Chain A
Amino acid sequence: MSRVLTIANMAFTETVRDKILYSILVFALAMIGSSTILVTLSVGGEGRIVKDLGLACITLFGLFIAVFIGINLVSREIERRTIFSLLSKPVRRAEFLVGKFLGLGLTLAVNIGVMAAGLLVLAWVLEDHWTPRILLGVGFTFLELLILTATAILFSTFSTPTLSAIYTLLVFVIGRLSADLMTFAAQFGGASLKATAVGLYYLLPNLSRFNLSGAVVNDLPLDSGTLALTAIYGTLYAAGILSIAIAVFQRRDFR
């Protein structure tokens, strides 16, 4: 376990020393802050604008961190051959990937934390719309991003960084629209098309379940049982993806 934590700590250090991370963070905070301009243009519902835009920014910029830093964490090690001196030590490949995942998870947690703090301060100062539900929305966004981090790591174990980024973004888009896949399957004929749509629905993560912004912004009721199930689903899905990544990585030759 200590080796996993050492690798996680190093992955966190690596991302923290990456200038791209700060660019993303500054831009995200600027975007969250820009909701104050939109507030002045709207009549009524100002708090909704701040929360809506804020949560959307956290998802979007968190996605950038998970994808663009996530894919590089593994592929850069292979490309620059730093992995030789690492895996020639008593480090198991599973420990390496889990460590990288935890390190990036910590980076995401810190960055999402900073963005969420910005959003909460803004919501409180501007409209006094501070609500703990914002934190719930942010928490589930974090869970969604952990699934995408695991996905980015999975793709980077066997593909190039560019393709890994494209595949992970596709998983995000399809995952967010996966509920529509079932509608599509129900409405259109053709057994094979229906089977493909249903197959994709079950295979890809249903990311729309983690998007609580509608309920948070509009103060809609949230069922704690459903939330608990979603949290379990997210955790198991991320663990499953990471297990597949480990299985692929175990068989890989480092030439």
Chain B
Amino acid sequence: MDPIIQIEGLCKDYRVGFLGRRARVLSDLSLEVRAGETFGYLGPNGAGKSTTIKLLLGLIQPTSGAGRVLGRPLGDASARGRIGFLPENPSFYEYLTGQEFLTYCGRLLEVPRGVLREQVPALLTEVGLDQAARQQIRKYSKGMVQRLGLAQALLGDPRLLILDEPMSGLDPIGRKEVRDLILRQRAAGRTVFFSTHILPDVEMVCDRVGILVRGRLMKSGPIHTLLGDQVESIELTVTTVPPEAFGAVERLAASPALLQEGRVMFRLPGEAALDAALAILVAAKSRVVSVVPQRRNLEDIFLEASREGQT
């Protein structure tokens, strides 16, 4: 099956400053997103995530490199008809109501009027704006504008959703709703490409991720492959630890012990250290509360990629 997004060696330079010096914001980016998958595009602020998205949509032209979206060259108008896009910090016509704006977007997508009459109220309900449908957008809160942005991205039954920081500006409830919405799109077979730097959301909804740092793709692959099964450390929590046992176990630990409400938590580097620690603690008649293996999370991978990208 052809990939939905395929880019090869994409570079983008901007001219900056009074003298128009060239600054490279995207370097030799190659990426593939397959049909039906949810791809999380991660990176710190200014990494080039929005630049990549604008290149995919033809809002900016690449300095070099090429790509295809839905089988068409970057920026192709017919491909854009099958893409739903939510821009970062979206802004819409303030003098229109939410309903008028969606109708306008639907007409630009050439959605038949009959379909639009059903789809607009349904989408407004889906994003929780049914009560504000006839309110001017200037009266919307930031979160409401974000929801309206999601609704316009879903208009016309797009095959590919490109969401630039969809959780930005939303409260925890709003974030959960967006997360659920993305999961519903995945269940409906849509391909979702979204950029974010809110990592817990990514682990919950993405099949694959790419980590971009300073315009370079540092890591890319399925989440479970990146995270791996390897245990990084083991957290051992115990109570009633005599001082001599405490000292012996702390020497085995990877970091200083944490003391909290009569409990002691040791972070041990591996199973051998755990066995040794348990032997000491059992002999000292301490009580074991929990043993929790710690695997790498996305934050570790993100920070590691960021460090590599800075050097």
Binding site for B on A (CB under 8 A): 2-3, 6-7, 10, 13-14, 17, 80-82, 84-92, 251, 253-255
15 intermolecular pairs with C-beta atoms under 8 Å apart:
A3-B110, A6-B107, A10-B93, A13-B96, A82-B92, A85-B90, A85-B92, A88-B162, A89-B80, A89-B81, A89-B108, A89-B109, A90-B78, A90-B81, A91-B80
A17 touching B59 in the complex, CB below 8 Å, given contacts A85-B105, A88-B83, A91-B77 = no
Binary A-proximity of B171-199 (CB < 8 A = 1, otherwise 0): 00000000000000000000000000000
Q: Is the beta-carbon distance between A254 and B59 smaller than 8 angstroms? A: yes
Q: Looking at the complex, which one of A80, A87, A90 makes contact with B109 (CB distance below 8 Å)? A: A90
Seen from chain B, the residues whose Cβ lies within 8 Å of a Cβ on chain A are 14, 54, 57-61, 77-78, 80-81, 83, 85, 87, 89-93, 95-96, 104-105, 107-110, 149, 152, 162
Shortest A131–chain B CB gap in Å is 40
Contact of A14 with B95 in the complex, beta carbons under 8 Å: yes
Partner of A82, one of B80, B83, B93: B93
Give chain A residues whose Cβ lies under 8 Å from the Cβ of B96.
13
List chain A residues, Cβ under 8 A from B95. 13-14, 17
Q: Is the CB of B104 within 8 A of A85?
A: no
Contacts of A84 in B (CB 8 A): 54, 59, 85, 87, 90
**Shortest Cβ distance from residue B241 to the other chain A in the assembled complex, whole angstroms:** 58
A160 vs chain B, min Cβ distance (A): 16
- For B108, list chain A residues within 8 Å (CB): 3, 6-7, 86, 89-91
Distance between Cα atoms of A87 and B109 in the complex (Å): 11
Q: Is the CB of B107 within 8 A of A88?
A: no
Task: Output the nearest chain A residue to B152 by Cβ-Cβ distance.
Answer: A85
Is B77 within 8 A of A90, CB to CB?
A: yes
List residues of chain B with CB within 8 A of the CB of A13. Answer: 95-96
Whether A88 contacts B80 in the complex (CB less than 8 A), given A17-B95, A81-B87, comes out as: yes
Residues of A near B87 (CB, < 8 A) are 81, 84-85, 88
Please give, as numbers and ranges, the residues of chain B lying within 8 Å of A85 by CB-CB distance.
Answer: 85, 87, 90, 92, 105, 149, 152
Give chain A residues whose Cβ lies under 8 Å from the Cβ of B59: 84, 87-88, 253-254
Contact between chains at A10 and B104 (CB < 8 Å)? yes
The 9 A-B pairs at the shortest CB distance, nearest first, are namely: A90-B81, A88-B85, A253-B60, A84-B87, A6-B107, A254-B59, A17-B95, A90-B77, A89-B108
Q: Which residues of B contact A6 (CB under 8 A)?
A: 104, 107-108
Given A88-B85, A89-B109, A90-B109, 13 extra CB contacts under 8 A: A3-B107, A10-B93, A82-B91, A84-B59, A85-B87, A85-B149, A88-B80, A88-B83, A89-B81, A90-B108, A253-B14, A253-B61, A254-B54
Closest to B108 in A: A89
Closest partner residue, chain A, to B103 (CB atom): A6
Residue of B nearest to A10 (CB): B104
Task: Please give, as numbers and ranges, the residues of chain B lying within 8 Å of A7 by CB-CB distance.
Answer: 108
B107 engages A2 (CB within 8 Å)? yes
A87 to B149, CA, bound (A): 14
Cβ distance A72 to chain B, nearest Cβ, rounded Å: 13
Shortest distance from the beta carbon of A225 to any chain B beta carbon, whole Å: 43
Are the C-beta atoms of B61 and A251 separated by less than 8 Å? yes
If A2-B107, A2-B110, A253-B61 touch, whether A81 touches B54 (CB-CB below 8 Å) is no
Q: Does A89 contact B54, Cβ atoms closer than 8 Å?
A: no
Q: Once the chains are docked, how many angstroms separate the CA of A2 from the CA of B104?
A: 12
Inter-chain CA distance A185–B271, complex, in Å, is 94
The closest CB in chain A to the CB of B109 belongs to A89
CB-CB nearest in chain A for B162: A88
Distance between B89 CB and nearest chain A CB, rounded to angstroms: 8
**With the chains together, A86 CA to B77 CA distance in Å?**
12
CB-CB under 8 A from A17, the residues of chain B are: 95
Chain A residues with CB below 8 A from B83, complex form = 88
Q: How far is the CB of B53 from chain A (nearest CB, A)?
A: 9
When distances are taken between beta carbons in the complex, the residues of chain A under 8 Å from B107 are 2-3, 6
Point out the residues of chain A lying under 8 angstroms from B81, CB to CB. Answer: 89-90
Instruction: Compute how far the CA of A87 lies from the CA of B85 in the bound complex, rounded to whole angstroms.
Output: 10
Kindly state the separation between the CA atoms of A50 and B143 in the bound complex, as whole angstroms. Answer: 55
B89, closest chain A residue (CB): A81
In the assembled complex, which residues on chain B have CB atoms less than 8 Å from the CB atom of A253? Answer: 14, 59-61
